[in-house]
Amino acid sequence: TDRKKLHTAPVGQVFRLRPFHVLIATGGGYAGYRKYEDYKLEQLEKRGIEVPVKLASEWEVALYKSVPTRLLSRAWGRLNQVELPTWLRKPVYSLYIWTFGVNMKEAAVEDLHHYRNLSEFFRRKLKPQARPVCCVHSVISPSDGKILNFGQVKNCEVEQVKGVTYSLESFLGPRISTEEMHFSQAPPGNSFQQQLVTKEGNELYHCVIYLAPGDYHCFHSPTDWTVSHRRHFPGSLMSVNPGVARWIKELFCHNERVVLTGDWKHGFFSLTAVGATNVGSIRIYFDQDLHTNSPSYSKGSYNDFSFISNNNKEGIPMRKGEHLGEFNLGSTIVLIFEAPKDFKFNLKAGQKIRFGEALGSL
């Protein structure tokens, strides 16, 4: 009779599952499963076995999108800013170097104790002569990475990897007004692709470069050109590694991206920095108004910014090899540009490339 009564809650209240928790658990588990599948595909490719294309269904894409990658990427960004104790820096960075094969002998500062946090380590600069810029070819690689695909744009479709495409207009967005471009525009009745080609006899070309986590994270100007416009697409932050790019059609159109457009000596030129998981932060050095991976955004929206004003009639001139921007972790760069029909790429799909090496020329 002296014992106290034990009050218990109903079992249903103790084990109550909220929809958000279900999405996290289900989406996270499925993402892990996909990572394992990607690993198996990579092993088959290394053995020279051709892997058939198998695209994700709509429900699979929706399930993947249910993972809060934007929130996780912002959390990762904050974690990167945390200053590490001096004694912990070398073990942490050494593990990263070993995992992703980073070559620290190319870094301007090789001493690991110099980098106060992961963010500084990711954005490390290279020694001046580590990446000589090719002077012979007209277009160079803007970054270190792996060539996923390249070639002519056909039927308003661009290949993100072999056999998997995305819409050119969905990727770049509506055509920019003629007032913001320096060259005459094609008649509006033509297709979107034809409207971008401004000179008779030219073709539209593309090149996709994937930056792995161990690559140099800055990107540079691939040629001499003038940037006149920036378009920012808020969006998902799904992984962009080759396995996922092979699995999700129009992956680059789903993800957050920053499109820089302008012109070079042969006409239209664009460079797009595509965000990915843990790469919500995309920085363009001359664009202080750009803020990526914002907590609030409208799905399918985009915002434009023109670098042409009353005080600047020309836009932002960029020299080949000049610093342009940076990622916080590996991601993807897509070049889409106009050039004469005799333009030739000096590339092979799947090859590793470094910033400053030739992409192609006339």
Residues annotated as catalytic (active site), given as ranges: 144, 220, 331
Dmax over Cα atoms in the chain, in whole Å? 98
Contacts of 216 (CB under 8 A, 6+ apart): 106, 126, 131, 143, 144, 354, 355
Name the nearest CA neighbour of 338 among 216, 193, 159, 227. 193
Residue 306, classified by CB atoms within 10 Å of its CB into exposed (0-12), middle (13-18) or buried (19+), is: middle
Contacts of 226 (CB under 8 A, 6+ apart): 182, 262, 263, 264, 314, 315, 316, 317, 318
Q: CA angle, 235 as apex, 298 and 222 as ends, to 5°?
A: 130
Q: CA angle, 290 as apex, 289 and 292 as ends, to 5°?
A: 145
CB 326 within 8 A of CB 217: yes
Extract the tokens encoding 208: 């996709």
Instruction: Encode burial over 340-357: b for 16+ CB neighbours within 10 A, e otherwise.
Output: eeebebebeeeeebbbbb
Q: CA angle, 192 as apex, 191 and 197 as ends, to 5°?
A: 95
Concatenated DSSP letters for 325-361? EEESS--EEEEEEEEETT-EE---TT-EE-TTSEEEE
Question: Which sign does the torsion angle of CA 289, 291, 297, 300 carry?
Answer: positive
